[in-house]
Amino acid sequence: MKKLLLLFLFCPLAALAEFYPGTITMNDGTVKTGFVEIPGTADKNKVAFRADKKGSTEKFSIEDVKMFTVTLKKNEEATYYALKLANIKTFKKEYKVDKDKSWVRMIVPGKVNIVAAYFYSGAVMGAVASTASSGYGYFFWRPENDYCTYFHSDVSSGLSVTIGAFKTLKKFVEINFEQDCPQLAELLVKDDIKKNGLKRIVELYEKNCGK
């Protein structure tokens, strides 16, 4: 995973090094309110903060931060968490969890969350081709864990799922929910996922397994 350059999901904004109104929540529960700069890459180990927009800059280590939320243009809120990423081991159903944390953005909240980051790499997670490519990596995150598990990549259209990727997606869902919702993968319907996107997985989980 170290060879993977993980950039922030939906964040060409990060390249502008702009500070946005927001809050940083530390691991000890302390909340900093002011202006936050979105880190340029998911594996950048610090987040910058200012009490005033043009004031002095403090930087907080990813190891000390639980999450931060910023208000973007048009009052859109974006929330990022400091989590370890877990990738499937080759030819196995087991995940290997990174030692270091990365920044990931909340995409679909629920009893099981979907979080994501933007990647640019040659050979990366799961279904991503071995040639140079960029796109979005999606992960399941159970709130009781300090890591999230990979299940899908998309080099085209964000939350949608192409027909060709459906079989691979279904397999990763089966692996992720083998213990607490073994029927979930079979509840996935190709046209339904294509139409409604990845949020449909969370909806089906909560309806059938997450009570």
Q: Which residues pair with 76 in a beta bridge?
A: none
Q: Which segments of the chain have a pLDDT < 70? A: 1-16, 41, 43, 91, 119-135, 155-164, 210-211
List the structure tokens of 200: 């449909």
**What's the pLDDT at 48?**
96
SS (H, E, C) 124-179: CCCCCCCCCEEEEEEEEECCCCCEEEEEEEECCCCCCCCHHHHHHHHHHHHHHCCC
Contacts of 76 (CB under 8 A, 6+ apart): none
Its pTM stands at: 0.82
Question: Using CA atoms, how far apart are residues 137 and 127, in angstroms rounded to an integer?
Answer: 10
User: Any bridge partners for residue 207, and if so which?
Assistant: none
Averaged pLDDT score across all residues of the chain: 83
**Residue closest to 173 by CA, chosen among 144, 192, 201:** 201
Instruction: Enter the tokens of residue 9.
Output: 């999901």
- 3-state secondary structure (DSSP) of residue 62: coil
Structure tokens at 130: 């071995």
Q: What is the pLDDT of residue 157?
A: 44
What integer pLDDT is reported at residue 73 of this predicted model?
Answer: 86
Closest C-alpha to 88, from 153, 150, 142 = 150
Dihedral sign for Cα 9, 14, 16, 22, please. positive
Query: pLDDT tens-digit profile of 156-203?
Result: 544 555 556 888 999 999 999 999 999 999 999 999 998 999 999 999
Phi and psi torsions of 192, nearest 5°:
-65, -45
